[in-house]
A = this chain, B = another copy of it.
């Protein structure tokens, strides 16, 4: 096989580099078995900064993805890549061109305008703080202020899923089901809060919990990772979810992003049905 298996990828942004980074990851995901070595350059706003980057590009080669509003720095990147015969792509250009065509106006050069601190931004920040303060069954007395409440057994990815949803602007609380402890069902029942039950395969849960006990040097507490006990726990959880009519998501083979996307779909539909 003649194809390269490792690639250096230089990501240059005059803002935070978040968009360019996600896009590069998604595009690289289409090439199985290719390993990418990422060189990430953020807040690049001067020619001096660019000089450091040029050195790296000429040392490693590869491909350059960039997002740059300043026309001079932009031209300098392109000229340098042409000299080096390094492929380059201004990642926002196709989307900006398409929008320009529909809107009937040209783009203005503004750096990092997507990070403007508007109402949506402050809502997201508020949602993040809400999620942190309502993690793991904390502050259940104000759970009625949530949009979504995630309920699940230990290690069913409640915390990261809550945070991810908060990043998308949803106010999310999460509550852990613990064997022998009755959850505060009355607090959870609220027509304005969508409750979602999370489950995970018993075998996976056992493995995750075993790793966790080892990392905590608490291996004596093996009941936590015992597969029969876990099966009991899961059956009780599912029974509760069904009794309450809460939708159930099995997170076993899903990344947090995928679980969150499913929850958002359920939430959107739930909101539509309410109105």
Contacts and interface: CB of A to CB of B under 8 A. Distances in A.
Contact of A255 (B115, B163, B264): B115
Nearest to A65: B95
Interface stretch (A28-36, A178-186, A187-195): A28-36
Nearest to A215: B126
Interface in A78-108: 87-89, 91-96, 98-105, 107-108
5 contacts: A2-B104, A22-B22, A26-B113, A91-B95, A116-B255
A156 interface: no
A92 B159 contact: no
A121 B7 contact: no
List the 3 closest pairs (A to B, CB-CB), nearest first: A29-B113, A27-B95, A30-B107
Chain A residues touching B, range = 35 or more
Interface of A: 2-4, 7, 15-19, 22-32, 34, 42-43, 62-63, 65, 67, 69, 87-89, 91-96, 98-105, 107-110, 112-117, 121, 124-125, 128-129, 132, 135, 157, 159-160, 163, 166-167, 255-258, 260-262, 264-265
